[in-house]
Amino acid sequence: MNMLDLIIKKKNGIALSKEEIGYMIQDYTAGKIPDYQMSAMLMAVCFSGMDDEETAALTEAMTDSGDRLDLSRIQGIKVDKHSTGGVGDKVTLIAAPIVAGLGIPVAKMSGRGLGFTGGTIDKLESIPGFRTDISEDEFIRFVNNDGISIMSQTAELAPADRLLYALRDVTGTVDSIPLIASSIMSKKIASGSDAIVLDVTVGSGAFMKTEKEAKELASCMVRIGKKAGLNTRALITGMDEPLGSYIGNSLEVIEAIEVLKGNGPEDTKEVSFEIASQMLIAGKKAANREEALNMIQCSIADGRALEALRKLIRNQGGDAKVTEDASLFKKARIEKALVAENDGYVNEIRCDMAGNCVKLLGGGRQIKGEDIDPSVGLKLLKKKGDPVHQGEELAFIYANDEEKLKEAEKLLKGAYVIGREKPAKEDLILGIIS
């Protein structure tokens, strides 16, 4: 086979065979195909697309480019969860302990963040002492003993995806549904779970900007998962406003702990409980949504969910006292209130601007591998639809740098849109694809 021929074929809108895609991924991962040729192929895919068979073949080839995690030593149905990302998205920190407390083994590999804020791994590492670089044997032992473990993704897992993602990021080829779907699903399949629940976010704070795009991506990933023999379902959730009250790494862990205690913002609870309910259904612990939601409420009321989080923290070297004493988290040096300049209602909190505000403060990465500050972030006191009065506090900014604080304050002021009319309430759960 010849890579140039495959580029021309895809450029002309002709489907590639499974063998051709396998050759391409294998030789690129081995360094036999140069970046400039793979860049041309990625651009051809962006313009010409891929059908379901091609996308499934690409996912399989990327999955087979490295190791697969063998979770056969863990008893029960292993249910994984993945979000396409958003601002204030701390759902894993809530849903994972809930389902683990209800008897579904949670053996989860997660990634670090690049963009608005940290990923799940960054948030967990804001807990004093918490380790995510555990061995596979530790990972499996923790799940077998206590029902839950979350570790950072290994370099050996779907290495082709790591190479392709880095190339897509610098060649303007990120926004292709077949490429996004195969990237996510290759890692999920290689992670070894039996079922996958996907949270596909849509809105100004998400990668997918329209509901149509989000449903197309969700449907594509569900088809890939089913073709691979996995019980796969997806929720479409709104991300036009930050999720919850807190944005920032340690701040989001604090909010997650509050939800597991039965407190916390309603929007965070709604999305987290819907995701957890789908995980319970996929894991055959609940027959339907109503039964699952009842089980979730019981696990929070009797403390099982919070205890699962404590076990996760203790097993991986963290200080579980943070679940009772939030002062044990590293605290930002500066706290500044943003106040309303006029009366009215919060019509909008521009999600991307709020996320960029936290990134500017140091809570998110500008480049891969960059250190982040776990203590900085935002506390949103007023959300969409809330009435406000001139001089009233809208939010708090937590910072460690005066200059960054000034820039962040300007950005957050622009994110809040105050109007005279109260806006209509929007649904957070926009659809389920199974």
**Residues with a known catalytic role:** 82, 161, 168, 183, 187
- 384: which residues sit within 8 A by CB, 6+ positions away? 241, 346, 347, 348, 349, 423, 426
Measure the CA–CA gap between 257 and 243, rounded to whole angstroms.
Answer: 15
Give bridge partners of residue 380 from the DSSP assignment: 395
Q: Residue 433 carries which side chain, given as an amino acid letter?
A: I
* 3-state secondary structure (DSSP) of residue 135: coil
Dist. CA 391–CA 99, nearest whole Å? 43
**Cβ pair 84, 184 in contact under 8 A:** yes
Distance CA(387)–CA(250), nearest Å, equals 28
Phi-psi region of 407 (alpha: psi -120 to 50; beta: other; left: phi over 0): alpha
Strand arrangement of the beta sheet that strand 344-349 belongs to? 387-388, 344-349, 416-419
Q: For residue 6, give Cα distances in angstroms to 23, 89, 189.
A: 10, 39, 26
Q: 138-163 in b/e burial notation, b at 16+ Cβ within 10 A?
A: ebbbbbeebbbbbbbbbeebbbbbbb
Place of tokens 């937590």: 398
3-state secondary structure of 398: strand
Of the candidates 379, 397, 394, 378, the one whose C-alpha atom is nearest the C-alpha of residue 345 is 394
Alpha helices per DSSP H over 147-247: 159-171, 177-190, 211-227
